[in-house]
A = this chain, B = another copy of it.
């Protein structure tokens, strides 16, 4: 996928090549941009070649989206990306200016200048290749390269964006493409936690975590890193260091499994996802192919389904109930055609429940420890929490429960698996 540079290979030991990505709050004001500039200059003075990737100033992307929505309810996706990309364009140039102001040398590089080639899926484009030559030219001149995150261009030169959190992906993909020794993700939290510290005071910072675990946590609701960025880091073995832009403390290293598994924890983290809705299709005809019909139709509308359960139905003999979850944000547009298909499949009723949450435990250690799922069910049962659905993978167990139990479930699972003692 990514184009490695021969230049980096030719002088691997000469200087270390570091990518630093700064999120929206880290560049949220001129003062903070100055901090970013000072940090980048300090890193450069430490003998490194430095590439920084910046998000839009916090609030800017929302301001631009609001402006577009004032024009039209559903803006054209191509034009929306043209508007949205200006957020990072401005912060990249301001950061380069701030580096000048602090006595350094820098140059901003936009998606089409780098160039970051993506597919043509506006607002959620995927990076195909990154050309490193403009970055290397900049570094060779002794400059810090400031890359605008979140944006790219498709093969026709149209501006694309990578979706919310897309600057993480830019950072990791650039690091992979230029062969950087690591990618530092500077954010407003100081690392990845065993669970959300906002609802669980005993949450602990995780010093090292594997790509696989991070991927599960990100997919299951942890907001620290964009999923796509972790996928790329794993694929290209880029060590990622998630840390605070407001301190010099070590954060969390996201790395390969061998390095991450230094201690013997079975469960690494507890995640929860509130953006799930449960759909209950009552009494469809129970014959082979019916469920396939249903989910093919939903997939055809580009909607992802998460947990799925099929039960014998109380609606009658030869009838089955199908329960599944999907993103709340997809529910409104999904309702119409779900009901249409349900009717066709002989269903008498479709019920919806948005008052649900998915809590999950994640850990590489599960692979070699039995009874982890059973322990999770027991902990929830002890608190009187009913489990509505279950899904598992090799390194995670997820339970769908009533939303009112969210905090209780997270706290008791967290401490029940000993994460308060890590």
Q: Give the interface of A toward B (CB within 8 A).
A: 30, 33-34, 64, 67-68, 70-72, 75-76, 78-80, 82-83, 85-86, 89-90, 92-94, 96-98, 100-101, 107-108, 110, 112-113, 134, 157-159
Assuming A64-B90, A86-B86, is B108 touching A70 (CB within 8 A)?
no
CB–CB B71/A90 < 8 A: no
CB distance from A226 to the nearest CB of B (A): 24
Question: With the chains together, A108 CA to B113 CA distance in Å?
Answer: 19
Contact flag A89-B97 (CB < 8 Å), given A30-B70, A113-B157:
no
CA of A192 to CA of B169 in the docked complex: distance in angstroms? 52
Given contacts A30-B71, A157-B113, contact A90 B83 (CB under 8 A): yes
A-B contact sample (14 more), CB < 8 A, given A71-B98, A82-B96, A134-B157 = A30-B70, A71-B101, A72-B101, A75-B97, A75-B100, A76-B97, A79-B108, A80-B93, A82-B89, A82-B92, A82-B93, A82-B108, A86-B90, A112-B157
Nearest-neighbour CB distance to chain B for A108, whole angstroms, equals 5
Contacts of A101 in B (CB 8 A): 71-72
- Chain A contact residues, majority secondary structure: helix
Partner of A94, one of B67, B100, B112, B134: B67
Report which residue of A34, A72, A158 has the largest number of chain B beta carbons within 10 angstroms of its beta carbon.
A72
A148 CB to nearest B CB, Å:
9
For the complex, give the distance between the alpha carbons of A90 and B64 in Å: 8
**Interfacial chain B residues near A92, Cβ < 8 Å:** 82
Q: Which of A34, A70, A134 has the most CB of B within 10 A?
A: A70
The smallest C-beta distance from A301 to any residue of chain B, in angstroms, reads: 23
Are the CB atoms of A76 and B100 closer together than 8 Å? yes
* A79 and B96 contact, Cβ closer than 8 Å, known pairs A30-B71, A33-B71, A70-B30: yes
Instruction: Answer whether A68 and B97 are a contact pair too, CB < 8 Å, given A79-B108, A108-B79.
Output: yes
Contacts of A98 in B (CB 8 A): 71-72
**What are 22 A-B pairs at a CB distance below 8 A?**
A30-B67, A30-B70, A30-B71, A33-B71, A34-B71, A68-B93, A71-B101, A72-B98, A72-B101, A75-B97, A76-B97, A79-B94, A79-B100, A79-B107, A80-B97, A82-B89, A82-B92, A83-B89, A83-B90, A85-B89, A86-B86, A112-B112
